[in-house]
A and B are shown apart, each in its own frame.
Chain A
């Protein structure tokens, strides 16, 4: 009896080894371990054996069954893995087709992107961001900024007036006054926003954007203005940049300067630089120390020109973007041709 069991085990093991598919293996399993197969029947009929044989035969038959089950299980796993590999290799797609569903790409307008960059630089320098109205009173736009009553900028050829005698602000500077009325010193703010002048050519549009800066504290100096704008210029135009201050005139700063940043384009190739026209410097903004007359307008809000001093600056976002991205005509930025816009942002 034991011999027969071992014979069956040998036959089954050989059959398992020979099976090359999971289907064939299943047939082997049914043949040797199925309900009608000989080995399970042997096990079931152990009780019919004489008592002295039962133990040995039962044990051997059980061992054989377990061994065969294990061998089948192992063989199944191997065959399944092989078959899966074959199936997956056959299940091939063209991975070079476009992704789907498509994920359209949107972008910020280059002016918004540039504005955010400028805001982020000044946030890092400790300047908060304020905004203000675009339709503005003559008081805030001109009078309180020390513009003489006959200043040409007040003229209707330069400035948009509303039917009510207000103006479209010609600069973000009126918010200097509004900010000082609202917040006592120390004050460190920038004011980005849309402004308007009656001008239209390749470097001017009747609406454009400025960022005003204002720092008022006990001991702000012109050197602080230089350092602040040096940091700004390096952040926006590259770590190698230098700035220089050129004297200028603005009604609401004294001393007044224009700030040039060293050209970022000159060394790109050997040709004469088209960006700076060979001067090595790019004018980026106007600035200066806040004029005592401006403080006089807000003296009651804690701005005594003998106690505090400050600097102010104003830059054009279009100009910064045009310089940085080589945009030859800023009017392009307002035609909203998506083929242009999607190049930036």
Chain B
């Protein structure tokens, strides 16, 4: 809402400059986006002039060269391009030094060789209208040199207000004036409608109004005028409308806009002679029925919308936009002025579905009181008489009447204190509430507060009244305290596990990224996922930002691959990145709705992608090898070992985006799956313009459940372990199979076993194992250790694994 300050000052004039006023309003709940100047500046350079001579420009067909008396000893030479300029006219002149609305400063100039000492003005050049058809011509009685600013306002500060949706009463000059009054204490002049009585609702001869749907239209008022002359509005009114962001049209339409801006209540003016049958009916729309609006568009109505129709059919979409058939025309002489109140949710929903918003609908959709309709009608009367020469036709139509009796809310003083944490004297509470227009009665332990009609929807409970007290009397004196009952707090175990897992990767040189939750549906194909893949059970968005963001990611892989490609394209030589975030799937049918803790199956994933060497080339190793399966496996191991989660990998081929011979599932100690590790499938690498890469991803939720929150102490010094190495020829067996045999045979006394060397010669694979034997209650003897070792060798031999050499 654009609020011209000069207009505001007509009702309340705080002694502060517009910027200070803006700050004060902001601190009491009316946000001010900007303070702007509207119009021209250096106004002493804008004067009345008399055109003495007007001749054709020697070098330009469309220009004239004029001499203009501007009240000084010497007349001014001014080049003018307006078609209507003529000798003898009284005109408005901007002299050199004048600052135009766009901020440029007028200078002496030469136009096609002719000097020009100023400018003869059209309305748009003063920002008081759009009219650029010709210069303004004034009454000849005005003397040359008279300051233009004495005739009508040339400039005003404008506050651009951001009105919160609960305060439609502040989408009005007088509504803001009331706020300014409460916020500054400056006296408030009476409302522009006060003291005006429209008389009894006796009806109007020749006009009939029927409201078929009172839910849609709680109140419909109409006043008729005759002898109306349609013409442009006076400049003071045009200037106000322009400053408020409204385009002046003609006097009657301008009156409706002016009164709306002043009171907050939209109005509509019908050409009464074009209302077929003199009868208007307000009814619900039929779903799908078509209405032509003022702008010439055909609109298809939703069922909750409202229609105003006359004997020939729809003329307006209720509360949103009028129709062209009965709009004010240049030959209009009889006007029916409508001010109605409408069901806010129905207006909002209709406006949304029609994708049609207007100044009117943006007010009605927030809920205006029925009382406001009559207030607006009262303001219109004098303006119609003054600006359009109109005569009011006797009578008034008022269907529905005022709204319900005002609500009285009891406000307990103790509650005010306990909610705000500061004492606000009851007299102060009463003072600010009265300033806002509330009725106040002291009850001894608090206040009984009567809500004015313009706050009827917004203020319905004690807490709402306390908010009014808070914003005007408490916030600025509020102390800063801490709640007394705060318990101790720490992160939960899953939160600690997540941080630790992330920190392990960061400590090993992996950069965290933040991927998008959105993904393209095509990602699923690009990852080569089969039709029955569980990763295809995605959450689909109905209204994505674009088709490429139409699903939620079922895996972190897409974002990791995209990140790798983008960084490599920008010249980064190697990529080691991880994402720690939610992945989303639709629930399978096997989980019944009542067992679903949330609408989608969400879990927290940790995914890594390594492309290129994990280490940069150095002076000692100029060509470090690119990250492979084992680099990724080492990283996932570092994460899981740090968290003390028993883990292993098993060959598996369930991820079509991984190299089938170089991928595995990561499992816990019981063999349950935690995630995958592997090298990228060459086709995936090619799809993302990569030369390869290694990756892993694990479900952190599952990891959390396995991580030991409280480790148990183990004695490591009393009974030292015995260490031995074994070199084995492993035949066809994988390392994991050999270790499994060793562990099984080693029993309790084998505390640890690790592969520390592997080599292959002539297709024969040797593994070197490091064994550690220990018991918790004694130092093992050589005989005991040798017995276990022999048992291990025997079991290995049975599997075809023999000691080397």
Contacts and interface: CB of A to CB of B under 8 A. Distances in A.
A105 B503 CA distance: 11
B763 interface: no
Contact of B566 (A206, A231, A337): A337
Given A123-B491, A125-B486, A164-B599, A101 B463 contact: no
A109 B513 contact: yes
Interface string B574-618: 011100111010100000000001111010000000000011101
B352 interface: yes
B707 to A, nearest CB: 18
Interface in A210-241: 215, 217-224, 226-228, 230-231
Interface in A104-122: 104-109, 111-112, 116, 119, 122
Nearest to B602: A133
B420 A222 contact: yes
A292 B92 CA distance: 60
Nearest to A223: B421
Given A129-B491, A336-B515, A224 B544 contact: no
A134 B512 contact: no
A270 interface: no
**Centre residue among A125, A133, A186, A337 by max chain B CB count within 10 A:** A133
Contacts of A13: none
A200 B485 CA distance: 41
A200 to B, nearest CB: 7
Nearest to B549: A206
Contacts of B495: 129
Interface in B503-523: 505-518
Interface stretch (A14-22, A76-84, A251-259): A251-259
Interface string B766-780: 000000000000000
B471 interface: yes
Contacts of A70: none
Given A109-B513, A161-B541, A228 B576 contact: no
Contacts of A133: 597-600, 602
Contacts of A336: 513-515, 559, 563, 566-567, 577
Contacts of B539: 135, 162
A196 interface: yes
A245 B420 CA distance: 12
A223 B479 contact: yes
Interface residues on A, range: 35 or more
Contact of B349 (A150, A221, A231, A246): A150
A97 interface: yes
Nearest to B541: A160
B486 A101 contact: no
A108 B499 CA distance: 10
A207 B511 CA distance: 21
A10 interface: no
Contact of A338 (B461, B471, B577): B577
B486 A223 contact: no
A220 B483 contact: yes
B511 A338 contact: yes
B481 A224 contact: yes
B485 A335 contact: no
B490 interface: yes
Contacts of B787: none
A122 B31 CA distance: 29
Interface in A173-215: 186, 188, 194, 196, 198, 200, 206-207, 215
Contacts of A103: 509
Given A127-B489, A256-B467, A102 B511 contact: no
B724 interface: no
A150 B512 contact: no
Contact of B618 (A98, A226, A247): A98
A218 B419 CA distance: 10
Interface string A122-158: 1101111100111111000000000011101001100
Contacts of A338: 511, 567, 572, 575, 577
Size bracket, chain B contacts: 35 or more
Contact of A135 (B471, B549, B552, B567): B552
Contacts of B552: 135, 168
Contacts of A160: 541-544
A128 B489 contact: yes
Given A198-B543, A335-B566, A337-B567, A226 B509 contact: no
Interface in B373-421: 418-421
A63 interface: no
Contacts of A333: 514
B167 interface: yes
A220 to B, nearest CB: 5
A97 B512 contact: no
Contacts of B581: 194
A246 to B, nearest CB: 6
A309 B479 contact: no
Contact of A166 (B463, B507, B512, B600): B600
A325 interface: no
A163 interface: yes
B330 to A, nearest CB: 38
Contacts of B345: 148-150
A164 B586 CA distance: 10
A231 B511 CA distance: 31
A106 B29 contact: no
A104 B615 contact: yes
Contacts of B489: 122-123, 125-129, 188
Nearest to A227: B480
A341 B576 CA distance: 12
A247 B166 CA distance: 13
B419 A309 contact: yes
A100 B487 contact: no
A246 B491 contact: no
Contacts of B352: 152, 155
26 contacts: A98-B619, A106-B506, A107-B511, A125-B482, A133-B600, A135-B602, A150-B348, A160-B543, A162-B542, A166-B600, A186-B485, A207-B518, A219-B484, A219-B485, A221-B422, A226-B479, A244-B27, A246-B29, A247-B470, A248-B29, A248-B31, A254-B463, A292-B461, A334-B516, A337-B567, A345-B512
What 4 pairs across the A-B complex have the smallest Cβ distances? A104-B509, A221-B421, A223-B421, A126-B486
Given A128-B492, A221-B421, A289-B463, 4 more contacts: A102-B618, A148-B345, A162-B600, A222-B421
